Amino acid sequence: MSKLTLISFPTCPYVQRAVIALKEKGVPFDVVYIDLANKPDWFLALSPLGKVPVLKVERDGHEPAIVFESAVILEYLEDTITEKRLHPSDALERAQHRSWIEFGSQVLGDLWRLSAAKDQSELDGASQALAAKLRRLEDTIAGPFFAGTQFSLVDAVFAPAFRQLDALETVAVTGLTADLPKVAAWRKNLAARPSVKEAAPADFVDLYLRRLRNNDAHVLKAAA
């Protein structure tokens, strides 16, 4: 069996995707967190893009192999850990799920812009873009998870985004899912999933809000 090690930083939503998938599949793995402001040389030697997450795969008789980019890591895990599939068996449904995984990355991008906004104009723009994507999800998800009762990689992708929103809403009222009952229920169901709960450090909320404060996030000022 391969030894799997995920390398990232504590609040990274992209590594949480892989952690959730691995926990759902019941496979042992390690997580190593680095300081993004002071990336160690050994990490830069491993990561061609200097980005996280990175998955190190160690196999008997082989040199350690590196897989980078979160969507690629998820596909590798799905291809190699086949005892519990998180993708649909149907090829068309699988392709559709991959499309919504990319949509999830766009949602994370809007969340990043919302958290990085330096003034009200930037904040409004990010909020409107995020709200539009969430409304699109309201018309798409089946419930209780994305495609029904079976937890999928799409769920693993969106759970970290909702975790950021949960953290933000401990100090700021966004109302982004208030009028979206299906999305709100999906968000709640994901938050209660053991694999999702265990995918981030216990002090995630404090770490996330500290990062926003350090970046002088306008969303926190607007909430004050």
Strand pairing of 54-58 and 3-8?
A: antiparallel
pLDDT (tens place) for every residue of the chain, 224 residues total? 799 999 999 999 999 999 999 999 999 999 999 998 899 999 999 999 999 999 999 999 999 999 999 999 999 999 999 999 999 999 999 999 999 999 999 999 999 999 999 999 999 999 999 999 999 999 999 999 999 999 999 999 999 999 999 999 999 888 999 999 999 999 999 999 999 999 999 999 999 999 999 999 999 988 76
12 is catalytic: yes
Which residue among the candidates 4, 6, 7, 12 is catalytic per the annotation?
Answer: 12
Do the bridges between strand 3-8 and strand 30-33 make them parallel or antiparallel, or are there none, so unpaired?
A: parallel
pLDDT in tens, 165-179: 999 999 988 899 999
- pLDDT tens across 23-71, in order? 999 999 999 999 988 999 999 999 999 999 999 999 999 999 999 999 9
What's the token pair of residue 6? Answer: 């995920």
3-state secondary structure the chain: CCEEEEEECCCCHHHHHHHHHHHHHCCCCEEEECCHHHCCHHHHHHCCCCCCCEEEEECCCCCCEEEECHHHHHHHHHHHCCCCCCCCCCHHHHHHHHHHHHHHHHHHHHHHHHHHCCCHHHHHHHHHHHHHHHHHHHCCCCCCECCECCCCHHHHHHHHHHHHHHHHCCCCCCCCCCCCHHHHHHHHHHHHCHHHHCCCCCCHHHHHHHHHHHCCCHHHHHHC
